[in-house]
């Protein structure tokens, strides 16, 4: 709707940043709700010729012996995680998907991002940003 009505230009970095500020938290919240409340608690049916266990994913993971399986996970130390983090460079990207100045300005304009309607907030930000 924002694109179709000319309020969003996908080639404009500011528009992209504002859209990310507003919608990434909404998308993340929906993903969290889905995997915590729906996916990991739904029942998987027996599948012909499949090597996956039937049952509820969280329960299968925590109690594999109840499904004829065994726990094969290995304990991971903080030191091992630190080594992988260092070797992979995964943390070099930074913790935020937005530039610090962009985030600061967006939060100044809309301090309570989780309490808003996304499309209206994007339009409000676009009008008041910069």
> Would you list the domain boundaries of the chain?
13-128
Cα separation values, 63 from 11, 43, 71, 80, 85, Å? 49, 15, 8, 26, 30
Average confidence (pLDDT) over 114-128: 90
More confident residue, 77 or 69: 77
5 — pLDDT class (breaks 50, 70, 90): very high
As a whole number, mean pLDDT of residues 55-64 equals: 79
Give the tens place of pLDDT for each residue, 18-34. 999 999 999 988 898 88
Per cent of the chain over pLDDT 90 is 48
The mean of the pLDDT values for the chain is 86
pTM value is 0.63
Write down the pLDDT at residue 50: 65
pLDDT(52) > 70: no
Average pLDDT over residues 36-50: 72
Torsion of CA 16, 22, 23, 27, to 10 degrees: 140
């Amino acid at each position: 709707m924002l694109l179709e009505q000319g309020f969003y230009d996908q080639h404009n970095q500011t528009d992209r940043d504002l859209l990310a500020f507003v919608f990434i938290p909404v998308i993340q919240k929906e993903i969290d709700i889905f995997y915590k409340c729906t996916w990991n608690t739904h029942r998987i049916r027996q599948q012909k010729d499949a090597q996956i266990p039937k049952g509820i994913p969280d329960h299968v993971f925590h109690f594999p012996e109840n499904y004829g399986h065994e726990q094969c996970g290995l304990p991971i130390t903080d030191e091992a995680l630190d080594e992988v983090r260092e070797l992979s460079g995964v943390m070099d990207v930074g913790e935020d998907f937005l530039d610090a100045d962009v985030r600061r300005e967006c939060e100044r304009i809309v301090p309570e991002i989780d309490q808003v309607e996304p499309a209206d907030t994007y339009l409000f930000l676009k009008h008041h940003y910069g």
